Amino acid sequence: MVNIITTKNVNVHYGDKKAIDNISLNFLKNNVTALIGPSGCGKSTFLRCLNRMNDVIEICKIEGQICMNNIDIYSNEIEVEQLREKIGMVFQKPNPFPKSIYDNVAYGPRIHGFTDNKEELDEIVNTSLNKAGLFNEVKDRLDDLGTSLSGGQQQRLCIARAIAIKPEVILMDEPCSALDPIATSIIEELITELKKSYTIIIVTHSMQQAARVSDKTAFFHLGNLIEEGDTSKIFTKPDNQKTNDYITGRFG
């Protein structure tokens, strides 16, 4: 097993407030890692460090080392656009562009200059929609607006959009929190399928979801990494009492 992302002694400050305290956590290739913890524990902040989403927040200061494939993603030689080609992201609320289903998926490959060839682009769009488990539902209406789809379909469209630029890692920030149970099940099944080709890091408030979809789980509390390990162990016999108390609903 190879680590695709390694992080070492990561500290994050928002102004005077320390949001992440000296976290070192690695992510195995083709694994699903769940980040869990109560609101404000730093899990989303940490996730957003992994594709430099925090760069746009002026008061945010990041220390420590975050490497992808042994290359420091915060080094001067790394262009953030280049990084996000490798690390895609899916957000809590489905956010398709106000464009056609086709253009939503084709947008990334176009701006990253993958191809201008219509046939090649068609192939990328179809494959991406297929991998996101959406193709059969939308193949006859690719010109319809992405925003016209149901919530679950929109979220899968966002996953297709992320896949289209052939990333190695997909970050998911509570991807199912706005979805109903069936749409959630479809996304969870998709996550299990996608990990064959991608590494997935998911932030979730649902303990059951973390238990269902992830191979590894990391528990955050007050900006600290309390415990990480195999999901099967974390949810049955965690080593740390705080982890036990959180996942059994004793705080948080």
Partner 1 sequence: MQHTDKNYEIQMNSINEKLIKMGSILEEQFNKALKVLSTRDENLANDIIDTDKQINDLNHDISDTVFQIIAMRQPMADDLRFLFCSIKIIRDLERIGDHLVTVAKKGYRINSSIPPEFIEKLEILGNKASVMTHDALNCLFERKLSQADKIAERDDIIDTLHGEFIKDVLSYMKQNDDYIPDSLSLIQISKGLERVGDRITNIMEEVHFLIEGKYSSE
Residues near partner 1, by CB under 8 A: 207-208, 211, 233, 235-238, 243-245, 247-252
In the bound complex, what is the minimum distance in angstroms from residue 92's beta carbon to partner 1? 22
Residue 237 CB, shortest distance to partner 1, in Å, is 3
Minimal distance in Å, beta carbon 43 to partner 1?
Answer: 18
What gap in Å lies between CA 183 and CA 173, rounded to an integer?
16
Amino acid identity, position 87: I
- Nearest CB to partner 1, comparing residues 26 and 240: 240
Identity of the residue, 147 or 244, whose beta carbon is nearer to partner 1 in the bound complex: 244
Residue 132: how many other CB atoms lie within 10 Å: 26
CB of 23 to partner 1, least distance (A): 22
**Do residues 22 and 9 lie in contact, with contact meaning Cβ atoms separated by under 8 Å?**
yes
Return the bridge partners of 62, or none: 12
Phi, psi of 43 (to 5 degrees): -65, -40
Task: Give the nearer residue to partner 1 in terms of CB position, either 2 or 251.
Answer: 251
User: Is residue 227 a contact partner of residue 243, using CB atoms and an 8 Å limit?
Assistant: yes
β-pair partners for 224: 221
Q: What is the DSSP letter of 56?
A: G
Q: What is the greatest pairwise CA distance in the chain?
A: 57
Output 196 or 237, the one with its CB closest to partner 1: 237
Give whichever of 148 and 208 is closer to partner 1, judged by the CB atom: 208
Residue 177: CB minimum distance to partner 1, A: 17
CB of 249 to partner 1, least distance (A): 5
- CA separation (Å) from 114 to 78, 97, 107, 166? 19, 19, 10, 10
Q: How far is the CB of 213 from partner 1 (least distance, A)?
A: 15
Residue placing its CB nearer to partner 1 in the complex, 128 or 209: 209
CB of 26 or CB of 206, closer to partner 1:
206
Alpha-helix runs per DSSP H in the chain: 43-49, 80-86, 101-111, 118-131, 135-138, 151-164, 181-194, 207-213, 231-234, 241-247
